[in-house]
Chains A and B, each alone.
Chain A
Amino acid sequence: MLKSIAVRVSQGSQFIPDPRQASPPGFRGRPLIAAADCASGCDACVASCPTAAITLNPVAIDLGRCVLCGDCEPVCPNALISFSNDVRMAATDRQALTVSQPRPELDPVKVNQALRQRFGRSLKLRSVSAGGCNGCELEVNALSNVNFDIGRYGIDIVASPRHADGLVLTGPITRNMAQALQLCWDAMPEPKLVIAVGACAISGSPFEGSSAIDRAFLSRFAPTLYVPGCPPHPLTFVRGVLDLLGISS
């Protein structure tokens, strides 16, 4: 009993009081693109990018493909690209995931009133990994730990698809997992939504183009929320969902 109390005392208070105010030190998050010109004929950043997330004229980074590795940062002769520790990268529209020189910030996720009414007080999620490398899976797991504690907002990860309102999809969707994913989705009662977590789920990057990938599922069921990163920081997920459902923090 005394040992248990000692552990409890050492534990202290670990939860993040307000995820909307949290700003993780050192996190390589939302890229910043300076407004200056590129060096003439230079495409070093494009060549350095492992997932073809960067396009030029103007310089733009697709966060649906970006793995936030930072390999582009040191190669730019004019130091146009850097990274902030901003976790706010979620979006409700695939096209809106791109940051560029003319549009350096993402639009904030707007409250969806219909979803708010249905799920604003209780959102149960079933996670399916379809080729995830266990990075996203660990971060989705972390949502329920004592630090992020999404249960306090009525958001829970549940075991059965029968109990779920939403599918948290991780991984690029392997052909070998495509059928099981569909079965799980079919087992979930309406109304239901898909949350795509991580660069693999959003675009297939870095596994895009593999003959072992089959992304047809996403052409049938477009995600309601995209959560970029590789893996996404749990706060990117928490903020995205809280904003989408209009949950106060």
Chain B
Amino acid sequence: MGPAKSVVMALTQDVQPLGLDAWASACAQAMAEGERLLTLFGRIDEDDSVVTTAVTLGNDNGESRLNVLRGRGRRGDAFASLTTAYPAAQMFERELWEQTGLQPTGHPWLKPVRFEGARQQHMADYPFFSVRGQEVHEVGVGPIHASVIEPGHFRFMCHGEQVHHLEIQLGYQHRGVEALLLQRPPMRLGSMVESIVGDSSNAYAWGYCAAVEALAGMQVSFASDIVRGVALELERVAMHLGTLTGMATDIAFLQGGATYGRLRTAIINATMRLCGSRFGRGWLRPGGVRFGLTPALRQDLLSTLTAFSKDIALVNDLMRNARSVQSRLQGVGTVSLKAAQDLGLVGLAARACGVRFDTRASLPGRLYTAHPVSVLHEDSGDCWARLTLRMREIDESVRWVREVLQAPETDLALASILSVGKLWPDTLCVSVREGFRGPVVQALETASDGSLLHYKVQDPSLVNWFGEALAVRNNEISDFPICNKSFDLSYCGNDL
């Protein structure tokens, strides 16, 4: 047995699904034992029956492992909601209810996640909480916001300037991605997968590739693994820089805004020289990567990173030590460690609260075993923590990329596409990739003829949006933009 892999497979014929109640109990049992609920979803099967799947991340003698729990019920069936005891399940159960019609009994706020299917275009019917009392009022913002940003609606319940609660209504970006993924040949989904969440193209493409490769029983070359890792870390650096640009601009720290903006340009232009696209589109494909790194490109990237490291250190130093920046970000938008754990927050948003969880470390596979990444965290859980953690994660990603580029043993120019072959029938494969926001989970299930039966996509934003809602409680409404930017969550990743 090698290092814990970031994909798990199960032969669906061999896993006898539990009854709905037994399945929910098994999920509760796993969480009671400290396992992390990574995803939970359902698909409608023949005759209106619903197959449910939960994936947990457990620990086996210090080694992480992914576990799959399957259940079966019929549309409209009820089961005892997990959310009452384990709030981390709240969003998954809402989605399960919206997509399959199963009823999690006792769920405290069973509301639509994205208004899909028959609920499309009923955005105005969202059952908001309402707040009553003297001098309380509600402020609605969006779906269209004041800058170039995806749409979503925010409803603030306020007392004067103070926010008591924020309710976030999403779904405006719903494109029907999961249904479309089943309408195309499974080996040719690269482009579409890259557009599910377009700022995380490489995380999604890698997770998709890893899943179909595992389903076909093939392994890509180690050189391809390294190039994919480089693609992912460049994406992380670029997107963290985008967030830093936005945060600096939102607090009118204009020199930071201008500088992080042009540093991001340097990174995405380097990505473009490697693969033709500033976002890595068309780079990762099933079987490997379309563009290896020739010695010249390797050198090009190394010198870009050398110049970059010098310049970002200067601007980070300037920003971190500016008292106006500290004053605007410290103690603003705080999420406690307890809340982050209870809600099952993931990725950078969780690590900024002190949660030490990064799937590159817990599910390293052969790449991150050979070249480990440090799991970084902050403890204060505020906008400041999310700012400084982004700066530190950029440094760590740059260090990692330099390490693999300088490792002499692998010729990265040889990375190419190997033939993949047919997908195994009746198999469920779940892949996890740590994108810049957190773990991107993709679950592919094949039918008895090897075609795709189900393609479930789960962006880290799905669970993290609720963390943002908690962060703004008891803050001034005027601090919302900086809270929102510090999380930098995906709308289309939630809406699919």
Contact = CB atoms under 8 A, between A and B. Distances in A.
Q: Note whether A and B form a binding pair.
A: yes
Interface of A: 3-4, 6-8, 10-11, 14, 24-28, 48, 50-51, 67-71, 74, 83, 127-142, 145-147, 157, 159-160, 168, 171-172, 174-180, 184, 200, 206-207, 209-213, 230-231, 233
Interface string B137-179: 0000001101111110000000000000000000111111101
A132 B492 contact: yes
A28 B148 contact: no
Contacts of B492: 131-134
Nearest to B256: A7
A179 to B, nearest CB: 7
Contact of A180 (B143, B245, B262, B495): B143
Given A159-B146, A176-B123, A180-B143, A134 B175 contact: no
Contacts of A51: 191
A172 B22 CA distance: 42
Contacts of A3: 314, 317-318, 321
Contacts of B115: 176
Contacts of A177: 143, 151, 172-173
B191 A134 contact: no
B273 interface: yes
Contacts of B455: none
Contacts of B321: 3
A196 B468 CA distance: 32
A130 B196 CA distance: 14
A50 B188 contact: yes
Contacts of A131: 173-175, 492
Interface string B172-200: 11111101100110001111101111110
A146 B276 contact: no
Contacts of B197: 133-134
B281 interface: yes
A24 B310 CA distance: 24
A82 to B, nearest CB: 11
Contacts of A27: 272, 276-277
Contact of B174 (A135, A209, A212, A233): A212
B274 interface: yes
Given A134-B199, A142-B265, A145-B265, A69 B255 contact: no
Contact of B191 (A69, A83, A129): A69
B198 A50 contact: no
A145 B241 CA distance: 13
Contacts of A130: 151, 172
* Residue among B174, B191, B310, B314 facing the most chain A CB atoms (10 A cut-off): B191
B365 interface: no
Contact of B180 (A129, A132, A207): A207
A180 B151 contact: yes
A68 B265 contact: no
Contacts of A139: 278
B116 interface: yes
A75 to B, nearest CB: 11
Contacts of A71: 188, 190-191, 282, 285
Contacts of B198: 132-136, 138, 231
B259 A11 contact: yes
Given A175-B120, A211-B176, 4 more contacts: A68-B277, A176-B121, A206-B191, A213-B176
Nearest to A214: B121
Contacts of A134: 150, 197-199, 490-492
14 contacts: A3-B317, A11-B258, A24-B269, A28-B282, A68-B276, A69-B194, A71-B282, A129-B148, A137-B149, A176-B174, A177-B143, A179-B123, A210-B179, A230-B281
A59 to B, nearest CB: 19
A160 B120 CA distance: 27
Contact of A7 (B121, B149, B275, B314): B314
Contacts of A136: 198
B327 to A, nearest CB: 17
Nearest to A143: B148
B41 interface: no
A4 B318 contact: yes
B201 interface: yes
Enumerate the 4 nearest inter-chain pairs by beta-carbon distance, A residue then B residue, closest first. Answer: A133-B198, A135-B198, A28-B276, A212-B176
